[in-house]
Amino acid sequence: MGSGVQQLRKQTFAPHERNKSDAPPPIIWEPPALPDGNLNFESAEERNLRVVVVTKGLQQPWSVAFLPDGAMLVTERCGRLRIVRNGTLVSSAVAGVPPVQTGGPRGLQGLMDVALHPHFDENKWVYLAYHKPAGGDAGETVLARGTWNGTALVDVHNIFESGAMDTEASRITFGRDGMLYMSISAPGSPTVPARPCGCATTAAFPTTIPSSAALGSSQGSSRAVIGTATGSP
């Protein structure tokens, strides 16, 4: 692993994780089996909750986006994008997802969020937040955009690369102001505005931006830190 990657990793490591012998074990375990029927339970925040099992067979599902026809795009942290249609999980994964770094020192890296552009009916744009392989077990949080052709993602580009290694969760959403908001969690440097890790960032995506435009370029897009110390979003 190059010295540049090692330095970037130090930016996001918590103090107790800078030596491998000090790091806690990754959070990886087998989930309990889902019931065949519905599940009723209570929590500290809500009572009389009713959970309906929509489908089974997913591996660490992380995020869901609903397509206009009612089908669901579901991310699996292991790096796959799946389709659930009429309550049935399509057996094959969606093609076109970039290579994803999974695991990491805390077992929390992988394919994260998925979101549709507000004008999806017109442009068919799908956004993915994921960890791009950066050498060894290091992953860099990036934002990708692809075009949905009905069965797969095509013309997929990374439009924002954080430069932050060994980050954890990331969420993306579009606000009413037309901005795309993206959060990037990191335990080691959550209060440094100059670095996007541990922050909520915002990016403008006018529908006129060329597919090759990157955030921070002169082609109409921008990024700004809007919050720090966000932890794991």
Q: Is the pLDDT of residue 103 over 50?
A: yes
149-153 long-range contacts, Cβ below 8 Å, gap at least 24? 149/124, 151/94, 151/95, 152/94, 152/95, 152/96, 153/81, 153/94, 153/95, 153/96, 153/97, 153/126
What's the number of CA atoms in the CB half-sphere (13 Å) around residue 75?
A: 29
226: its two tokens: 């809007």
DSSP string, 15-52: GGGSSGGGSPPP---PPPPPPSS-EEE--SS-SSEEE-
Nearest to 72 by CA among 54, 51, 98, 95: 54
100 — pLDDT class (breaks 50, 70, 90): very high
Ordered domains of the chain (ranges, CATH): 3-25+58-228 (2.120.10.30)
What's the number of CA atoms in the CB half-sphere (13 Å) around residue 141?
A: 29
140 — pLDDT class (breaks 50, 70, 90): confident
Nearest to 53 by CA among 66, 36, 68: 36
Q: Is the pLDDT of residue 181 over 80?
A: yes
What's the number of CA atoms in the CB half-sphere (13 Å) around residue 44?
A: 0
pLDDT of residue 84: 97
Q: Is the pLDDT of residue 57 over 50?
A: yes
pLDDT of residue 67: 98
pLDDT of residue 145: 95
Q: The whole model's pTM is what?
A: 0.74
What's the number of CA atoms in the CB half-sphere (13 Å) around residue 37?
A: 1
Chain segment 7-25, per-residue pLDDT in tens: 544 545 555 555 655 556 6
